[in-house]
Amino acid sequence: MKELCPLDYRYGREDMKSIFYEDSRLQYQMDVESALARAHASLGAIAKEDADEISRIANINTVRPERVKEIEKETRHDVMAMIKAMTEQCRGDSGKYVHLGATSNDIVDTATALQIKAALDIIDKDVDALIYTFAKLAKKERDTLEIGRTHAQFAIPITFGFKISGYIAEMLRHRDRLREVRPRACAGKMAGAVGTGAALGKNFFKVQEAVMKDLGLEYEPAATQVVGRDRYTELICLMANIATSLERYCTEVRNLQRSEIGEASEAFDETKQVGSSTMAHKRNPINSENVCGLARVLRGFVTPTFECQVLWHERDLSNSSAERFTLPHVFTLADEMLKKTDYIFGGLTVHSDIMLRNIESSKGLVMAEPVMMKLTEKGMGRQDAHEVIRKASMAAVDKDRQLRDVLLETEELKGVLTADEIRSAMDPAGYTGGSGEITDRMVAAAEKALGRKV
């Protein structure tokens, strides 16, 4: 078989991809058709026996995808091909009630809402799994000292658990956003050609409500021929937001695994895994790099999604072809990235000894701030304290000396700070602020959200 898209042969899990396969799409659409028939029957518009018959044949084992494709070659209309194929399989006169009062996009958009609902179920589980992994790691590394960095330069000490606690907070926000977007994203319609429901007659509102209740969906309260595409825009932007967060976490792994930093690294199977075809020593952060690359692809679907929001009058067909790409690819990539990020951090090796070594390599410069704050406690003005420490720091850099030793010789500090007070202020373990408590709070927040202990 010749394959073109990497989702066919390299990326994506079957659970997610199967939601968007062509056979699945057909099944979801027939689920909508059968729900429509049941709604009509419940309101007395058609006989219950006819609705039961339509529901009986509304499956891909009876209405074969091959037959639908065969009819589509003639009709050049995919939904009408399905309707004809369903009608063929109905016994008696039941087939004449298939698609009664509906337009194609009543079926298409409602089926898409069912796909989104199923896909979000998977994404929800992925997000919860990643939050749990982060919480375990944060708890384990609560007090592991690491240098914080700003502008890619040494700043002041943090703990690795504190770093991960920030990831927990961000993913908990995404978790909330997923729950907020669900009712807006999982919305269908059963309102006819331009949204007025005219073909459904006096039962229009009741039919629409009955169909959506049957399928567990919300409905568009004031549709055109389609549900509002602002719903899809919000959804895809959220997926892009989540993907960007994952890229941020994995970029950090890539940086920490750099040879000159070496503070953390991805799992590596020493017995079999190969890092390079020529450089036998290489251990590359390939999974983190993969997540970063896929995030760029996922974000690329944001623009066509916005453009599909702008349709002529009550609707044109320009959105249809684009959305066949956007939704399946975005969900498949998001699922792939979430699972891969979970794998990365679940197997992450934290090199706490190298973290300490890197802090020590600064020769005390990263502890300039706590000494400055200690001086303010002794009554020295903040600006004056800053200038004293700044000059001492520059002298330490110029002469490649320990800042502590330079401070011990600084005239302005004599009689203000003792040698023991300087040494104590320059202990990295004593200057991580609320890192530990913040980590504890975020682990507790994760446990509360997930309903289980870490």
Chain-centroid distance of CA 224 in Å reads 30
* Phi, psi dihedrals of residue 159, rounded to the nearest 5°: -120, 155
pLDDT reported for residue 283:
78
Quote the CATH superfamily of domain 365-425: Fumarase/aspartase (C-terminal domain) (1.10.40.30)
Q: How far is CA 254 from CA 68, 283, 284, 337, in A?
A: 48, 11, 9, 15
Run of H or E including 146: strand 145-150
Catalytic annotation on 320? Answer: no
CB contact at 8 A, 100 and 46 = yes
How remote is the C-alpha of 94 from its chain's centroid? 44
Q: What pLDDT, on a 0 to 100 scale, did the predictor assign at position 281?
A: 54
Q: What residues does each domain of the chain span?
A: 14-97, 105-271+282-357, 365-425
- Cα-flanking dihedrals φ and ψ of residue 165, to 5°? -65, -30
CATH architecture of 105-271+282-357: Up-down Bundle (1.20)
- CA Rg, the chain, in Å? 30
CATH architecture of the domain covering 14-97? Orthogonal Bundle (1.10)
CB within 8 Å of 330: residues ≥ 6 apart = 236, 239, 240, 298, 301
The average confidence (pLDDT) of the chain is 95
Distance of alpha carbon 185 from its chain centroid, rounded?
15
Please name the amino acid found at residue 291: V
Q: Is 276 a catalytic residue?
A: yes
How far apart CA 427 and CA 141 sit, in angstroms, is 19
Catalytic residue among 18, 276, 318, 321: 276
Q: Pick the catalytic residue: 18, 24, 77, 151?
A: 151
State the pLDDT at residue 278.
52
Query: Is 270 strand, coil or helix?
Result: coil
C-alpha to C-alpha distance for 149 and 434, rounded to whole angstroms: 17
Task: Tell the burial category of 401 from Cβ atoms under 10 Å away from its Cβ (0-12, 13-18, 19+).
Answer: middle
Helix intervals (H) in 141-229: 160-185, 204-215
Q: Which helix (H) or strand (E) holds 350?
A: strand 349-350
Give the burial string for 225-240 (b: 16+ CB within 10 Å, else e).
Answer: bbbbbebbbbbbbbbb
What pTM does this model have?
0.94
- CA-to-CA distance for 49 and 186, rounded, in angstroms? 30
- Which regions in the chain score pLDDT beneath 70? 1, 268-282
